[in-house]
Every structure is written in structure tokens, then in C-alpha cells.
A and B are shown apart, each in its own frame.
Chain A
Amino acid sequence: MLFILFFITSKGISVINWSFITQLPKPVGEIGGGISNAIIGTLMLIGIATGFSVPVGILAGIFLSENRKGRLASLTRLCVETLQGIPSIVIGIIAYIWLVVSMGSFSAFSGGMALGLMMLPVIITATEETLKLIPESLREASLALGVSYPRTILKVILPAGVSGIVTGILLSIARVAGETAPLLFTAFGSPFMNLNVLKPINSLPLMIFNYATSPYPEWHTLAWGASFILIVLVLGLNLFTKVVTKRWKVQF
């Protein structure tokens, strides 16, 4: 572990400077160039993915924790587990069939949805597990005061469990931030700066893959730099999540 970290840092840190982060990649043969488009692309993809998976994930998590038994709930639970085990490349195929084919082109939107699909099970499980920990007395107190059921859930139960849910969301973001496979045939990658969600877009992992497998040494250097940034991003997110959980635990 330390060896890998050391290796990437030593290779990557020499590439990093201000222009590396702010510039666009240059064509083969030119020295320099940066990865700004990939950083922006990664952020956009994560944004789209979060926008889709957080509302659905939290609602489904509430549903599962409110209905512990029942046929629909146990079937849904099974599905969440299965969804979690689906290989990321298969998610990519699905997003291709559903979105790329029907919209007619590779796009940031389809890539984001593919990532969202991967985040969904993590968020659902985190929400369900957290809400299960909230004591029954809290809900009863709220209902006894005449607060309606939806309001009890949304204003009492959910805020009480918010730290666990946020942890789940952060973890799922850390998980998909490094995903490449679902983006290969959805977001597709592009060497240009692009802010249009309906156009192909680059992301850090995708760029590392494309550049690492290319035959040009200049591109390999870029890929090392990009790996360094990606690993800092992902590990930083993981550590941050840990601190959040420790500081801000659900406790009753």
C-alpha cells in the first residue's frame, strides 16, 4: 500500500503545477498541457450522479426502514443487494442501451446516470441502516404531539439520522469518482473543455486509462499526474468521511 502511494506520489508530484490543473491537454508531440477538462468533467459527472441517486436513494432507504417486513420491501432489499454486485462494465452497457442509443450520442448525462446507478445501492443501504438505529420513542413522541406522519419522518427521523446518510453519500461518491468502466461508452471522453451535459465529456479515470494505454511517453507523464490528483481526491474523501463519522455519530 505504502509502496503504491509512494510510487504514484514520486511520479505524479513532479508533473503537478498550476498550469497542469488549469490547461487543456495538448496534442501529441507538444510539451506541457493540463487536465482541466478532466477535472471539470469529473465534477460534472459526480454532480449529475448525485442529483439522481440521492433523492431516490434516500426515499427508498426510508421505505425499507419503515417497512421492515412485507413482500415488496424484502424483494426490494434483495434487488438493492443484487444491484450492488453488478459489475461496473454491465452498468455501462445498460446506460449505453438506455441513454446513449436513445439520445443518439455519447454524453455527460448518460455517464452521470451510470455513476448514479452505482451510487444508488450504497445510499439506500446507508439510509436504511442509519434510520433503523433511531429509537422508536422519538417517532412516538412526535406522533403523540399531533405531528403528521410525513412530517415526522421528514422533520424528525431524517434529521436525526442525517450524519449517517451523509456518510453514505460521501462514501458512494468516493466509490464512483474512480470508476472508469461505466464511462467508457457513455461519457466517452473528449480532449476539449466541455460544459454541455449532452456532449461527450472527459473524466480523470477515463483520461488515465486512455493515456496510460497510449504509446506516447508525454501522455504517460500526464497520466501519472492525473493519477496523483485522483488518488488524493478519493483517499481524501475517504478520510474526510471517517472524520465526519467519528465526530458526528448518530447516538441515542
Chain B
Amino acid sequence: MNHSRAEVLVLGAKTETMRWHKPTLSESSFRKILSMTGAFVLLLLLAIFFSLFIASFPAIRNFGIRFLFSSTWDPVRSEFGAFPFLVGTLATSFLALIISVVFSIPISIFLGEYSAQGATPAFIKSMIELLAGVPSVIYGFCGLFLLAPLVRILEGRLGLAPYGVGIFTASLVLSIMIIPYSASIGREVISLVPSDLKEAALSLGATRFEVIRKVILPYAGSGIVAGILLSLGRALGETMAVTMVIGNSNFIPKGIFSPANTLASVVANEFTEATGSLYLSSLIELGLVLFIVTTLINLIGKFIIRRMGVGG
């Protein structure tokens, strides 16, 4: 059946060639078009980088390196420093990462090692895939109306100001969003551990738990780390869900329950309201910082995965 399909395609093309004798597209020009689209993608990325750089140039010239470490963000006095947002971004992302690792590593061990076939893991797998497909704005919406009241109660118990929104809520939402990513990469890496290694350990009398701890985790370790890095890249750049639950405060957060702002959420909130070119270009510089950081993290993660031999 496969053969006949292939033959039909080839013969069809042949008949068409015979039917129309006029030369349509020469080989060299076709190759040229292909290369041009390739180069177009390349140029697109360079153009993105340079236009971000040029658009944020007024802010870079005005504030220099101080931009990253100054903690005043005051649109009225035209003073802009990104430090509160850097802190907010790092705090939410790492907290989310810690929460998600607690869940994603057991999930990936379970799916990759204990039950690679069968109905339950297939069900969990497709659930995870669906979870990854839910739009982020819906996560934010649910976070705002489901999680925030719960966190508010928790804060009340702890004797804190009951904002309900803040770094903690944002991290919870983010961790739910990134679990699918790290879990699916982890599963792939764990299922790649050669079975003779595992069997050798088992035949030496190791228990299944010892095999996981002493053989699988060390072997798959760098791949799991790469999966975590890739999900960190996503967490850093995630905008909508975080914007809705982080509370939008332009000061350095005091604790994990206080409202804050991340690089992405401040851009989302203030971009359309930005008056004055310096304000706008400062916001764009925030975007530039975000772009560079996520790109670096992604490339490092992909590089590690490629060395492991998993198609990233």
C-alpha cells in the first residue's frame, strides 16, 4: 500500500511533466527561493534583537548599567530601575520551579520507569499533554478566582495582610503550568536509560528503589536538569497568568506573600499606558533583558539535551 502511494505520487509528477512542456521553475531559482526563506528566518531573529536594542537605546544611554540595579520605578519623575522586577521574576520563577520539581520528578520516574505501558500511564500522559494545551490566560483566571481566595485564607491564618495575590500565588499557578514540560522531558530522558545498565544493577541484588536512585537518576541527571532549565525559560517569560495574580506592585517584594511584579507582567500592564519615550524605551529594555535571559537559558537546556541524544 505504501509502495503504491509512493508510485502514484512519482508517476503523477511524471505525467504532469510530460503534459506541460513549458519549464516552470528552474532548479537553481527554486534552490535560491529555499535559501532565501532560510536566510529570512535568520534575518528575522537578528532584526528582532536589533530593533529591541535600538528601541531601548534611549533608556540604555540614560541609565546605563544602573538600570538593572536601581530600585526606583517612578514614571512620574522619569526614573526607571528594573531591580524590583528582576527580583520579582527570579523569586516567582524559582519558587515555581521548586514546587514543580517536587511533582514532576516523581511523575517522570513513574511514567518512564515503573509503568511505561498500560492504560493508566497513557491516560496520565494525555492528561499532561492537555494540561500543556490550556491557554495561559485561563490559568490566570482560575488562579485569580480559585487560588487567590485560598491563599487569602492562608495568609489570614498566618497573620499576614490578606492580599490573596502575590509572589506565592503566582508561583503556584506557574508551577502548575510548567509541570507538564519538565515531566514530559524527564520521562523521555528516563526511558532512554539503557536497560542493560538497569538489569546489571538488578542482577547484583539492587532493589528497584536503589536502581532508580543509584543508576537511573545519575544517568538521566543532566537531561532532567535540562528539562528543568527549559521549563525555567518558560516560567520566566510567562506573562498572562502571572500578570493576573501577582498583584502589580512596583517595589521590591518583602516576602513571598507580598505583591510584586515580574519583567513580563510590568510590560503587559504599563506598555499601552506608557507616556513619554523614555518610559516606553525603559519598558522595551525590560523586554530586551527578558529576551536575552530566556534565550540563553533555552540554548543551554537544548545543548545539554542534544548531548544526551534526545531530539530536543
Residues in B whose Cβ lies below 8 Å from that of A9: none
- Distance between B170 CB and nearest chain A CB, rounded to angstroms: 14
Interface bits B293-312 vs A (CB < 8 Å: 1, else 0): 01100110010000000001
Q: Are A87 and B51 in contact, CB atoms less than 8 angstroms apart?
A: no
**Residue in A1, A72, A155, A185 whose CB lies within 8 Å of B130:** A1
Cα separation A81 to B302 with both chains bound (whole Å): 9
Q: Are A227 and B41 in contact, CB atoms less than 8 angstroms apart?
A: no
Residues in B whose Cβ lies below 8 Å from that of A175: 133
Q: Are A87 and B42 in contact, CB atoms less than 8 angstroms apart?
A: no
Residues in B whose Cβ lies below 8 Å from that of A34: none
The dominant DSSP class at the B interface is: helix
Q: Are A63 and B34 in contact, CB atoms less than 8 angstroms apart?
A: yes
Cα separation A66 to B134 with both chains bound (whole Å): 35
Q: Are B27 and A149 in contact, CB atoms less than 8 angstroms apart?
A: yes
Residues in A whose Cβ lies below 8 Å from that of B240: 180-181, 205, 209
Q: Are B52 and A93 in contact, CB atoms less than 8 angstroms apart?
A: yes
Residues in B whose Cβ lies below 8 Å from that of A83: 41, 44-45
**Residue in B14, B134, B141 whose CB lies within 8 Å of A147:** B14
Please give me the residue from chain A that is nearest to B240 by CB atom: A180
Q: Are B131 and A1 in contact, CB atoms less than 8 angstroms apart?
A: yes
Cα separation A227 to B135 with both chains bound (whole Å): 9
Q: A83-B45, A97-B51, A235-B130 are in contact. Are A90 and B287 (CB under 8 A)?
A: yes
Q: Are B137 and A208 in contact, CB atoms less than 8 angstroms apart?
A: yes
Cα separation A1 to B299 with both chains bound (whole Å): 30
The dominant DSSP class at the A interface is: helix
Q: How large is the interface on B (under 10, 10 to 19, 20 to 34, 35 or more residues)?
A: 35 or more
Q: Are B287 and A151 in contact, CB atoms less than 8 angstroms apart?
A: no
Q: Does B202 contact A (CB under 8 A)?
A: no
Cα separation A178 to B238 with both chains bound (whole Å): 13
**Residue in B9, B11, B48, B298 whose CB lies within 8 Å of A81:** B298
Q: How large is the interface on A (under 10, 10 to 19, 20 to 34, 35 or more residues)?
A: 35 or more
Residues in B whose Cβ lies below 8 Å from that of A76: 38-39, 41-42
Q: Does B199 contact A (CB under 8 A)?
A: no
- Distance between A203 CB and nearest chain B CB, rounded to angstroms: 10
Q: Does A82 contact B (CB under 8 A)?
A: yes
A-B interface pairs (CB < 8 A), number? 235
Q: Tell me which residues from 196 to 219 in chain A have a Cβ below 8 Å from any Cβ of chain B.
A: 205, 208-209, 212-213
Residues in B whose Cβ lies below 8 Å from that of A44: none
Q: Are B135 and A146 in contact, CB atoms less than 8 angstroms apart?
A: no
Q: Tell me which residues from 194 to 221 in chain B have a Cβ below 8 Å from any Cβ of chain A.
A: none
Which stretch from B75-83, B99-107, B249-257, B263-271 is at the chain A interface?
B263-271
Residues in B whose Cβ lies below 8 Å from that of A7: 142, 146
Q: Does B120 contact A (CB under 8 A)?
A: no
Q: Are B42 and A79 in contact, CB atoms less than 8 angstroms apart?
A: yes
* Given A4-B142, A89-B237, A178-B135; 20 other pairs, CB 8 A cutoff: A2-B127, A59-B34, A66-B34, A72-B42, A84-B298, A86-B291, A89-B268, A124-B41, A138-B10, A141-B6, A141-B10, A150-B24, A151-B13, A156-B9, A179-B136, A209-B240, A224-B141, A230-B138, A235-B130, A238-B130
Listed by A's residue number, 29 A-B pairs whose Cβ atoms lie within 8 Å are A8-B142, A60-B40, A76-B41, A82-B299, A87-B236, A87-B291, A90-B290, A93-B267, A93-B271, A98-B51, A120-B44, A138-B9, A146-B14, A146-B17, A148-B17, A148-B23, A149-B31, A153-B30, A155-B12, A156-B9, A160-B5, A180-B135, A180-B136, A180-B239, A209-B243, A212-B244, A231-B135, A242-B126, A252-B2
Interface residues of A (CB under 8 A from B): 1-2, 4, 7-8, 56, 59-60, 62-64, 66-67, 72-73, 75-76, 78-90, 92-94, 96-98, 117, 120, 124, 138, 141-142, 145-153, 155-156, 159-160, 174-175, 177-181, 184-185, 188, 205, 208-209, 212-213, 220, 223-224, 227, 230-231, 234-235, 238, 242, 251-252
